[in-house]
Homo-oligomer: A and B are copies of this chain.
Amino acid sequence: QMFSERFGKGSRTVDLELEAQIDVLRETKNKYETILRLATALTSHFQSMVQTQQALGDTFTELSQKSPELQDEFGYNAETQKLLCRNGEALLSAIGFFVSGIDTLINKTMEDTLMTIKLYENTRLEFDAYRSDLEEQSLNPRDGAAMVRIEMAQQDYQIHRDKYERLRSDVTIKLKFLEENKVKVMQKQLLLFHNAISAYFAGNQEQLEQTLIQFNVKLKPPGADKPSWLEEQ
């Protein structure tokens, strides 16, 4: 059947609305993968920046103690870098939570629906194969043997039509739930991402901490290689 379709022979059962929805899902998944990739890169660059700020803070502190003539200048720079490090760790936890949330949405939730879609597509292919078989049988002269074959083809057709309908219904339901879930997850994650980034880059430590509490983001212990939010999500 697949080959018949490839070479323009055979007909294809098409649910235009459903296929459009599936195309949209695949496109959305691609776009969200771009966000995931960029947010992961952001985490990595930001992490490097915070580490450098930590080292700069330490060097400024040392020079503030060793340079009486520039004590103030090194001193206030040391303070600023250290404050940025503390807030930086908080922002890293927030971005980590965002990355983890998007990762789950793409690689668990969307992936689960896409697996059902693959099953549905295979079932559609099988169903169309039995359907064309039945159509071919029906064109033959109707002697006794032919009637038996038509009867059997009819049964196969019915079984695979039911299976196809069931999976089409499964896909429709999963797509509906996925859409609702996607909107809910993204509303939450995009709000968290925005509020955490805004608070951090406005130097608003209190608001940043409030955002973490509001979204129940645990502060990653500094230096933890395996971020704890990966298991929590």
Contacts and interface: CB of A to CB of B under 8 A. Distances in A.
A: interface residue count bin: 35 or more
Contacts of A173: none
A99 interface: no
Given A80-B194, A197-B84, A35 B62 contact: no
Interface string A57-79: 00110110011011001101100
Interface stretch (A6-14, A48-56, A113-121, A135-143): A48-56
A103 to B, nearest CB: 16
B201 A84 contact: yes
Given A34-B59, A38-B55, A194-B76, A70 B201 contact: no
B183 A31 contact: no
A229 interface: no
